[in-house]
Structure formats: C-alpha cells, structure tokens
Amino acid sequence: MGRPKNPPKPQEMLKDVIPIDDIFEEDEKTIYYSLVDIYLNDFDKDDLTSSDMDDIMSLATNKVLEIRLLKSSKGNADKQLDVSNAIEKLRKQTEKIKDNLSSRRKDRINPHEHKGFSIVDLAVAYDQERKKRFADRVRMNKQEEKDILTEYNKFEGNKNDIDVKIKDDNEGL
C-alpha cells in the first residue's frame, strides 16, 4: 500500500481528516474552522510542515477550549477561580506555540532575497514618482493653456481693445 501519492492539503487535513466532530460541539466547530482559516492565511501552503499544521491545530484547539472554560464558569465565582488557572496554562502554551511558528517562519525566509535594498532605493523610487507627477501636471497645464488660447483667439474683441484684430474691408468682397 505505502504512502498516498497525494497527501491531503493542510486545510483539508486540519478540517476533515482530524475528527473534529468527536471533539467539539457545533458552535465550537465553527470557531475552530474559522481560526484554522485565519492561521493558515499567514502561511504559504507549500511551505507548511507537519509541525506547523500540528501547531496551528493546537492554537485553534486551545482557543476553543479557553472559550469553553469561560462559558462554563459564567456566573459561578468559585468555578472562575479554578478555570482561571487552566486558562493561564492554555495561554502560556499558546504563546510557546506562537513563538515556535514564528521562529520556523523566520528560518524559511531567504536573507539574500532582499539584499541590496536600502533607503536610497526608496528615496530614488519616491523621487521618480514625484517627477512623474510634476511632469503630468505640467503636461495638463500646457494643454489647458492651449485650449484656453484657442478659445480666446476665436473672440474678435471690440474696437477699444488694445490687441483688436483689424478686419480687412476687402474681405467680404
């Protein structure tokens, strides 16, 4: 038999392969699925390892369990004290998981990918964009001036204008 040729995708693995129906109630499953989607959006699906998927599942599960504990202690002060210890442990575990995910993600980043990129490159790009905006504005103003002069030259004026156009009396003959 051996290993399947096409292993399940991370989202399918975290939602369908793991028996979520046996672990959570209906309203909790909705929360779990939403959290898995949110966490998976932070990663490139091709770069996920089995450790990443396990950590994502643990993060989502911890959040659902935390909500379950908070609901169960609602209105009961004695139970809130007991629940607060469990919630504190869940939150510490969640922080460790987040640190692990973060450090593995940092390890995958190629440090040479952004090599040579500096503040000077940003300044040059900004300067070029600024020059383009000014050139566009100058081009627009020149076109507007040309349109206004064309319209102005259509107007013949009156005899008191300094720059009046003199009509030749022989034009009409």
Q: Which of 72, 88, 108 delimits the end of a domain? A: 108
Domain that holds residue 61: 10-108
Low-confidence stretches of the chain (pLDDT beneath 50): 173
Q: How many domains does the chain have?
A: 2
Is 1 part of any domain? no
pLDDT at position 133, please? 93
17/73 same-domain check:
yes
Is 172 part of any domain? no
pLDDT at position 162, please? 67
pLDDT at position 159, please? 63
pLDDT at position 4, please? 58
pLDDT at position 126, please? 85
pLDDT at position 137, please? 95
pLDDT at position 166, please? 58
78/23 same-domain check:
yes
Name every residue whose Cβ is closer than 8 Å to that of residue 11 and which is 6 or more positions away in sequence. 36, 37, 40, 45
102/27 same-domain check:
yes
For all residues of the chain together, what is the average pLDDT?
Answer: 81
pLDDT at position 63, please? 94
73/155 same-domain check:
no
Give the pTM.
Answer: 0.56
